[in-house]
Amino acid sequence: MARHFQITADGGSRGNPGAAAYGAVVTENGKILAELYATIGIASNNVAEYSGLIAGLEHAHALDPEATIDVKMDSKLVVEQMSGRWQIKHPDMRELAKRAREAHPLSLVTFSWIPRDQNSHADRLANKALDGEVQEQAYVQKNFLHSRLISKEVPTTIYLIRHGETPLTPERRFSGSGGSNPGLTEKGREQARAVGRELAARQPEVLLVSPMQRTRDTAEEIGKFVEIAPIFDEDWIEASFGKWDGLTPDEVEEQFPEEFKAWVSDAWYPQGGGEPYAAVAERAGIALNKVAAEYPGQKVAIVTHNVVVKGAVCVALQTPIDSIFHVDVAPCSITTIKIWPSDGLMALMSMSERAEYSA
């Protein structure tokens, strides 16, 4: 299966034309794969910006020549020219655009403009090159969080809320998107009201809700404290558990012993013929990036499900997918993830925080 990359790129010239350099960041599902930066001699801002784009595309192509790529830049000129909406009149620009088109199949690349403050990572790399720092290692997967926390860039803050208790929750019965679709118990509604009071203090600006009944009920109770119209979104629906739906894990082990063994040892096993945990995690990662792109710098509350939250945590931490078996999420708890728009860096800020309620 072809991979999907994100590239942010920038370039600058001190003098325009003058000493110039580029910077580019290649990411995949929020994971930083490469930081690229170098000086290019005396050149204009536009040449430097194109050079950053080319460096990012060439690196992504080397990783997977069939990958789809989303390019985001704050250069309106480069985005519009590469998208084919603006003519390229300058011969130098035509040559650079040709190199960019040859770096990776253009049919697999989308271009979009972002404000300058959302492209700060690539801009910072270009300035590192201009300040004389030499790029020694392209692959970087270490601590970027420290610099984000002290930067002025405002991340998207996502509050992932597991729904409240249903009749199936106490026995931990499988309850997926293709099952009986239960609503909340009265205890579940009290849990939802408690999390609503907690959310009111955090002041989210957007409320996304899985369209299943238990998440609708949870959002209804939250709405008594947070005055935001819910947006129902299929991206956040629970996994399907197929023929296991409604059963306890012990019942599954008794009735389907070989399938149970396969499931507990492989996150890609389709439990009950449903959606594998690993596939849910991939889906959650895509949905997180979508939210960050659509609501940059905002606080977004999302009412969703156990496996979805577990998968999102694995994506944010960049852990092996089998680690999903080592994560548990309490009903009506809040898990907080921040995503920085400039490069999609994710950070898990808290997990499974439970609001106080009267049992």
Residue whose structure tokens are 């290649």 = 26
Q: Which of 152, 72, 144 is nearest to 117 (CA)?
A: 152
Q: Which long-range contacts (CB under 8 A, 24 or more apart) does 323-331 make?
A: 324/267, 324/277, 324/278, 324/281, 325/264, 325/267, 325/277, 328/352, 329/162, 330/162, 330/354, 331/162, 331/163, 331/164, 331/165, 331/169, 331/188, 331/191
Q: State the chain's maximal CA–CA distance in angstroms.
A: 74
pLDDT at 356 over 80: no
Question: Are the CB atoms for 338 and 347 separated by under 8 Å?
Answer: yes
User: Rounded CA gap, 303 and 168, in Å?
Assistant: 18
Over range 83-109, report the average pLDDT: 90
The catalytic site residues sit at 163, 238
CA distance 7 to 57: 8
Rounded to whole angstroms, how far apart are CA atoms 70 and 111?
Answer: 6
Which SS3 state, helix, strand or coil, does residue 192 take?
A: helix
DSSP state of 302: E
Residue 17 preceded by cis peptide, ω within 30: yes
* Beta strands in 199-269, from DSSP E residues, in sequence order: 206-209, 231-232
By the 10 Å C-beta count (0-12 exposed, 13-18 middle, 19+ buried), 33 is classed as buried
Q: What is the pLDDT of residues 318-338, one digit of tens each?
A: 888 889 999 999 999 999 999
For residue 23, what are its two tokens? 């910077």
19, pLDDT greater than 50? yes
Q: What is the pLDDT of residue 139?
A: 43
Asked whether the predicted pLDDT for residue 359 surpasses 50, the reply is: no
**How far is 249 from 15, CA to CA, in rounded Å?**
67
Q: Which pLDDT band, with edges at 50, 70 and 90, does 132 fall under?
A: confident
For residue 240, CA distances in Å to 7, 120, 166, 212, 262 come to: 33, 40, 17, 12, 17
Contact (Cβ atoms closer than 8 angstroms) between residue 272 and residue 249: no
Question: Each residue of 142-189: pLDDT tens digit?
Answer: 566 777 777 788 999 999 999 999 999 999 999 999 899 999 999 999
Element holding 291 (H helix, E strand): helix 277-294
Q: Please name each of the domains of the chain with its CATH number.
A: 4-142 (3.30.420.10), 156-354 (3.40.50.1240)
